[in-house]
Amino acid sequence: MDLTTIQSQSSATVAVSENRQIHLTATGVSVDVPADPRANLMYYLDCLCCTLNLTDVHPGIERFRSYANYDLSRNDIDTLIKLCELLAPHKLENKCIFECAELCGNSSNEFYDVEEIRQIVLSATTTANTSVAALAGKSALFATATATASLSIVLGGESYRIAKIMTYTREWIWENYHTPMQLLRRNSSVCVLL
């Protein structure tokens, strides 16, 4: 079965079979991120704060989310790097973030409410709708959303509630995580060695 996605600015419709579609409401907004590795990494952190409600748990993290104001001190950059290492993509992949260009539509990343996905899959598994149930069984995104009634993830010994699922393209993760981390770590190492 091929998974097809049609994206508009506010929703996605996933075709599961010829006569059944799942409608998901995209909750992301378009933003302009300054072309600077600090801003890119701050934007990555901002996206994960939305996904995991980190601001509610750690109010001090808010200043590292303001990617338009990316003029950070050396200590702030080191803190940003540490925060983003804690939230590295490999720790979150197929748990609350998913490389899935098809669900990004015209954007390079998109957000979906985890409860909406969970309800769709739960209703599919309690009815005779085998197309939706088959999709739920084959898709990590849908399977993850139904794993538990209270979705959470443990990072650094702390548990965080997953509020949204973020999908992204490969280009997005390189632009907003891998490349900025490489550049900022390199600059951080040079400063430490001096």
Q: How do residues 51-81 score in pLDDT, each as one tens digit?
A: 998 877 777 888 999 999 999 999 999 999 9
Q: What is the pLDDT, as a whole number, of residue 94? A: 87
Question: What is the rounded average pLDDT for all residues in the chain?
Answer: 75
Q: What is the pLDDT, as a whole number, of residue 9? A: 37
> Residue 124 — pLDDT band, cuts 50, 70, 90?
low
CA-based nearest residue to 14, from 148, 167, 174: 167
Q: Do 168 and 99 contact (CB within 8 A), yes or no?
A: yes
Domain that holds residue 66: 4-193
- Quick one: average pLDDT of 16-28? 57
- pTM comes to 0.75
Q: Which residues of 112-133 are buried (b: 16+ CB within 10 A; e: fewer)?
A: bbbebbbebbeebeeeebebbb
Cα torsion 104, 37, 56, 106 to 10°: value is -10
- Quick one: average pLDDT of 136-142? 51
For the ranges 16-25, 27-36, 179-188, the lowest mean pLDDT is seen at 16-25
Query: How many domains, the chain?
Result: 1
